[in-house]
Chain A
Amino acid sequence: DGGITQSPKYLFRKEGQNVTLSCEQNLNHDAMYWYRQDPGQGLRLIYYSQIVNDFQKGDIAEGYSVSREKKESFPLTVTSAQKNPTAFYLCASNRGDETQYFGPGTRLLVL
């Protein structure tokens, strides 16, 4: 089955801790994206990558970092610099034919 997987489903972060959210796709898509969703708001773009070893900041990149060492994987690290990390995080990918395919999401909570 082709698709996008995100893990974990729920993640708890302590103050000052970095945490990494996983995103893997086996759709052979070149482009991958990370979004954040907060209640009452649309999805906001954090980072995106159009090709391996290359990525660009989105609208709200501060406090986040990414890597794209493999085509299939685009992990997102929420650093201690992100002061308000509690949100629902969505990973997506596409092949440049505009339609994006989304993963199931990770809910991040701060202890």
Chain B
Amino acid sequence: DQQVKQNSPSLSVQEGRISILNCDYTNSMFDYFLWYKKYPAEGPTFLISISSIKDKNEDGRFTVFLNKSAKHLSLHIVPSQPGDSAVYFCAASPNDNYGQNFVFGPGTRLSVLP
């Protein structure tokens, strides 16, 4: 049973428009969430994080929204650029888990079309 779900395996967006990537989780103990971006044959790179004390965190073109009651988070990329084309992973962890592992979703492949 997947604790972290990304129900859209792929998403295509026109350059300059908004990309919205969604993530749902089932474990109510999760308190800290991250988004990673992964290019082919490379390791994931950290993008942005959010903890449950916030409902929004912004970093440049990237904004993550958290809705704890719905157990849902989303990553918004505005404006989308061709270089954003990659696989995006959502990951979750209980906040008090020192050095512990995260649970990752299966990823969403974003294609930004010029």
A residues near B (Cβ < 8 Å) are 4, 6, 9, 30-31, 33, 40-43, 45, 48, 50, 58, 88, 90-92, 94-96, 98-105, 107
Contacts and interface: CB of A to CB of B under 8 A. Distances in A.
B97 to A, nearest CB: 8
A98 B42 contact: no
Given A40-B9, A105-B43, A107-B41, A96 B99 contact: yes
B69 interface: no
B42 A99 contact: no
Contact of A42 (B34, B46, B99, B106): B106
Interface of B: 2, 4, 9, 32, 34, 36, 41-46, 49, 89, 93, 95, 98-107
B32 A105 contact: no
A90 B41 CA distance: 10
B107 A98 contact: no
A94 B99 contact: yes
A101 B4 contact: no
Those 9 A-B pairs whose CB atoms lie nearest each other, nearest first: A102-B43, A42-B104, A31-B99, A96-B99, A43-B104, A42-B106, A45-B101, A50-B99, A105-B43
Which of B34, B43, B89, B101 is the most central at the interface, judged by chain A CB atoms within 10 Å of its CB?
B43
A1 B86 CA distance: 25
Contacts of A100: 34, 46, 102
A85 to B, nearest CB: 17
B41 A105 contact: yes
A67 to B, nearest CB: 18
Contacts of B34: 98-100
Contacts of B42: 104-105
Contacts of A33: 101
B43 A90 contact: yes
Contacts of B2: 42
A43 B89 contact: yes
B101 A98 contact: no
